[in-house]
Amino acid sequence: LNYAKKIYRLGYPYMFMQFLATLYIVVLNIILADFCDEAVAVLGLYYKLQTFFFIPLFAFQTCIVPVLSYNYASKQYKRCRLIMKDSVLFSLTFMLIGVFCFEVLPKTLLQLFSNEADVLRIGIPAFRIIGSSFLPAVISLLSPVFFQAIGNAKASALLSVIRQLGCLIPIFWAFSKLGLVYTWIAFPAAEIITGVIGIVLYLRQIKK
């Protein structure tokens, strides 16, 4: 925890998010290992493929931080809101490509790495469920960046922790008790919950 705080205080939200991602992937793998090795393989394939859509989004977020910071320091609050609006619209448009690939082409994506019947059987419905999380992920990823840019590291770190540890792991574990296919619902659920909290905090900041 102290290591994570130091990273965030140094102003490296991407590194902080990677630290959290590594932590929760280990936990999810432990949960999936109780089902079968193929389930673990599906999660691994998902993280290989989702980088095509999330890494550019992370890069875009890094680019808007100095722009937001400059305008916020200059008290150009209206411009900050316009930057956030345009960023959300651009990101949603980009992530629609990811939604299309995961909803329409899950088998094709999986077959890039594996043709095992069990991997396809588990992976196709998993990819379609996880793919529905891409659009709400835009809000849950942009809101921490906004608070990081305006110097509110506590709110930014809180949203990142809620998304990856506070929501995803507990929901994933709870749904694993119902069956393997239900575990993947944790991804869209975590993004929606974090997005709603992010919007509430953002609107509160706008009100100030």
- Helical segments of the chain, H only: 2-9, 13-33, 37-73, 77-104, 106-111, 117-131, 134-149, 153-161, 168-176, 180-183, 186-207
How far apart are alpha carbons 108 and 35 in whole angstroms?
Answer: 24
Q: How confident is the model at residue 59 (pLDDT cuts 50, 70, 90)?
A: confident
Q: With 80 as the cut, is the pLDDT of residue 16 above it?
A: no
What is the separation of C-alpha 135 from the centre of its chain, rounded to a whole number of angstroms? 10
**Would you tell me how many other CB atoms lie within 10 Å of the CB of residue 89?**
11
**Would you tell me how many other CB atoms lie within 10 Å of the CB of residue 147?**
23
pLDDT in tens, 85-107: 998 998 898 899 999 999 999 99
Mean pLDDT, all residues of the chain = 86
Q: What pLDDT does residue 155 have?
A: 87
Lowest-confidence range among 8-12, 86-90, 154-158? 8-12
Q: How confident is the model at residue 163 (pLDDT cuts 50, 70, 90)?
A: confident
How far apart are alpha carbons 29 and 37 in whole angstroms?
Answer: 9
* C-alpha closest to that of 142 among 185, 86, 190: 86
- Are 176 and 182 contacting, i.e. CB atoms less than 8 angstroms apart? yes
Q: What pLDDT does residue 19 have?
A: 67
Mean pLDDT of 111-128: 93
Percent of the chain with pLDDT over 70: 90
Q: What pLDDT does residue 111 have?
A: 92
Question: For the whole model, what pTM was predicted?
Answer: 0.84
Q: With 70 as the cut, is the pLDDT of residue 33 above it?
A: yes
Q: How confident is the model at residue 73 (pLDDT cuts 50, 70, 90)?
A: confident
Mean pLDDT of 70-89: 89
Lowest-confidence range among 2-6, 17-21, 132-136? 2-6
Q: How confident is the model at residue 10 (pLDDT cuts 50, 70, 90)?
A: very low
Contacts of range 199-208, beta carbons closer than 8 Å, 24 or more positions apart: 199/139, 199/143, 201/143, 201/147, 201/155, 201/159, 202/84, 202/143, 202/146, 205/146, 205/147, 205/150, 205/152, 205/155, 206/77, 206/81
**Strand, helix or coil for residue 199:** helix
Q: Which tokens sit at 181?
A: 């296919």
Q: How confident is the model at residue 15 (pLDDT cuts 50, 70, 90)?
A: low
Mean pLDDT of 59-63: 81
Higher-pLDDT residue of 7 and 19 is 19
